[in-house]
Chain A
Amino acid sequence: MTISAPPSDLAPRLAGLSLAEIAIPNGREEEWRFTPLARLAGLHSLTEAPQSVSFKIDAPAGVEIAEAEATSTFPAADRIAAAAANLSETVLSVTIPAEAVLDKTVLLRINGGAGAAVGRFEVRAGKYSQAEVLLDHTGSGAQAVAGHFIVADGAQLTIVSVHDGDRDHVLAGQHAISLGRDSKVTHVVVTLGGDVVRLVTTVEYTQPGGDAIMSGAFFTDAGQHHEHRLFVDHAVPHCRSDVMYKGVLQGDEAHSVWIGDVLIRGNAVGTSTYEMNRNLLLTDGARADSVPNLEIETGEIEGAGHASTTGRFDEEQIFYLTSRGIPVVEAKRLVVRGFLTEVIDRIPAEDVRQRLLVGVERRLGDSVSLFQDGPDA
């Protein structure tokens, strides 16, 4: 299903507004129409501060950690992100000093407890620094999180965000990425758990030469809602974006939403962008909504394209593999792993790759009976 929406829907146009000025969504808005509001534990309608998210941080020497009052404005794209930013009393700030090259991952853990909570953090990657940050979301409860990544000139920042909460977990929020001159961000999302995960990722380029590699892999099981929304704003010349999300869905009421909005503004000459979302439906009853939007306001670009496909298991592939003696369940595992390979190859951390693979295998294994009388058995 493809319904086009103007890219500006995801633009961080709520920056600087107070919560009182932002209407509470009713579900009919373009940006909320896919989201099951009733399952958000009220995150979309917060008016006062609930609990605070507790971050556990583990960073190598040299990284500066501070918890302070917010000084910068968070470029919120929607009301949940605005609530996370405005209602958090403090901001957890992680600073990677200029020219530092970290040999260890900065680990930021959010293990949610009961009830609603808001949290805000920022990662400042100093000029010419190189670092990797792993955001690990587990536990239960409902968290609204606003994460701001400010990547200075020449810096290279890898962000891996794993969403692997309990089956009742609700996680919503925004990653706002701001790229300096000739900087590079590699953003990887791995979504496996939870009842609802809804992440908006926005990318802005402040200077030419920025490079954003955005990848995601999700496995959406029966009853889960996984929503990934991206807004890449090419407002300056000679920047690059490459978006690749792949999803596997199985079971009744498994629902994934992928919105990929890319805007190439009039002066963003020399832009190169490609975005892709591919979904593989393993069973009936699962639904993948995928909406790529590419809006181009200048002809002088290097390249722009998008692709979106949602398909079922290919009967001929399964026949070929099983005709070589490979049992059906194993054949399907091979096909699913093969399908995800392209994204897995873009995950830099071996342990995260393993976590994804094990998570996928476990979910496939849980559904052996589903497979045996699946669509092509």
Chain B
Amino acid sequence: MSVLEIKDLHVRVETENGPKEILKGVNLTIRSGETHAIMGPNGSGKSTLAYSIAGHPRYEVTSGSVLLDGVDVLEMSVDERARAGLFLAMQYPVEVPGVSVSNFLRTAVTAVRGEAPKLRDWLKELKGAMSDLSVDPAFAERNVNEGFSGGERKRHEILQLGLLKPKFAVLDETDSGLDVDALKVVSDGVNRTRETGEAGILLITHTTRLLRQIPVDFVHVFVEGRVAAEGGPELAELIDANGYEQYQTVGARD
């Protein structure tokens, strides 16, 4: 049983016009086995939260903390965080030319598990994980994200979720750019992780489409860099009907 606590997190980025505060005091606690959704309008800071948890160098934490079972994650390097059990499925995963998916996955699995899986076991595991996500076996020989369609990128992210078995996973807009069939395949993948009961999941989305496929326990409405409202799954339906307007400050409405 693990717990991830985000306390009063303030984050800024360097922009052309000087530093800009994006997260303005985020509080959030997730426990193993729970699935949370963060819903918020474009530009509200959802990806910033995800990147800050993962440790992207562009985001500067000015105050607050992120604790994994009481240990300060913000003191760790990006790779240490991943080995400690954090995972981020990215909204826009980048291409890594010349590095094959199979080489990348095996290197990542070796790093996270602390030892290289036996080649035979590994090939079997990879094959199984790929077929669970209806991924063509030839995919393993392609270069990471190079020429991947939007759907392939998202499947590749969820493939990693299944193989790396993190304690906490942040899935940033994993539903965007997916057609109905691909959404089903990807949601099934997330649900397999959810059903182990061993991982805490934070789904970032700004539609309720994904939430119809993946049952969530808590919904957090994210507006202007902080959590503006919290509740159960019914909150998602409310937002679907009424939008975010009631949570926005007057000046920020468009």
Number of interface residues of B (CB under 8 A): 31
What residues on A are CB-neighbors of B99 within 8 Å?
334-335, 337-338
What residues on B are CB-neighbors of A315 within 8 Å?
57-58
How distant is the Cα of A258 from the Cα of B218 in the complex, in angstroms? 59
Is A330 located at the chain interface by the 8 A CB criterion? yes
A residues in contact (CB < 8 Å) with B: 314-317, 319-328, 330-331, 334-335, 337-342, 376
Nearest CB of B to A377, in Å: 8
Interface residues of B in 93-112 (CB under 8 A from A): 93-99, 103-104, 107-108, 111-112
User: Contacts A319-B78, A321-B104, A376-B57; is A326 near B111 (CB within 8 Å)?
Assistant: yes
Is B160 located at the chain interface by the 8 A CB criterion? yes
User: Contacts A314-B94, A317-B96; is A323 near B78 (CB within 8 Å)?
Assistant: yes
Q: Across the interface, do B112 and A324 meet the contact criterion of CB distance under 8 Å?
A: yes
Is B225 located at the chain interface by the 8 A CB criterion? no
Is B164 located at the chain interface by the 8 A CB criterion? yes
Is B20 located at the chain interface by the 8 A CB criterion? no
Within 8 Å by CB of A334, from B93, B107, B112, B164, lies B107
Is B90 located at the chain interface by the 8 A CB criterion? yes
Is B7 located at the chain interface by the 8 A CB criterion? no
B residues in contact (CB < 8 Å) with A: 54-58, 77-79, 81-83, 87-88, 90, 93-99, 103-104, 107-108, 111-112, 143-144, 160, 164
What residues on A are CB-neighbors of B144 within 8 Å?
320
What residues on A are CB-neighbors of B54 within 8 Å?
323
How distant is the Cα of A320 from the Cα of B182 in the complex, in angstroms? 23
| Nearest opposing residue in chain A for B103, CB measure | A334
Interface centre among A319, A325, A327, A376 (most CB of B within 10 A): A325
Q: Across the interface, do B111 and A342 meet the contact criterion of CB distance under 8 Å?
A: no
Nearest CB of A to B144, in Å: 8
What residues on B are CB-neighbors of A335 within 8 Å?
96, 98-99
What residues on A are CB-neighbors of B93 within 8 Å?
320
| Nearest opposing residue in chain B for A336, CB measure | B98
How distant is the Cα of A316 from the Cα of B58 in the complex, in angstroms? 10
Q: Across the interface, do B79 and A334 meet the contact criterion of CB distance under 8 Å?
A: no
Nearest CB of A to B13, in Å: 14
Q: Across the interface, do B107 and A326 meet the contact criterion of CB distance under 8 Å?
A: yes
How distant is the Cα of A316 from the Cα of B78 in the complex, in angstroms? 12
Q: Across the interface, do B79 and A325 meet the contact criterion of CB distance under 8 Å?
A: yes
How distant is the Cα of A325 from the Cα of B85 in the complex, in angstroms? 9
| Nearest opposing residue in chain B for A337, CB measure | B98
Question: Besides the contacts A330-B107, A341-B97, what 7 more A-B pairs have beta carbons closer than 8 Å?
Answer: A320-B90, A321-B96, A323-B78, A323-B87, A325-B79, A327-B79, A327-B111
Q: What are 19 A-B pairs with beta-carbon distances under 8 A?
A: A317-B95, A319-B57, A320-B144, A322-B78, A323-B78, A324-B111, A324-B160, A324-B164, A326-B108, A330-B107, A330-B111, A334-B103, A335-B96, A337-B98, A338-B143, A339-B97, A339-B98, A341-B97, A342-B98
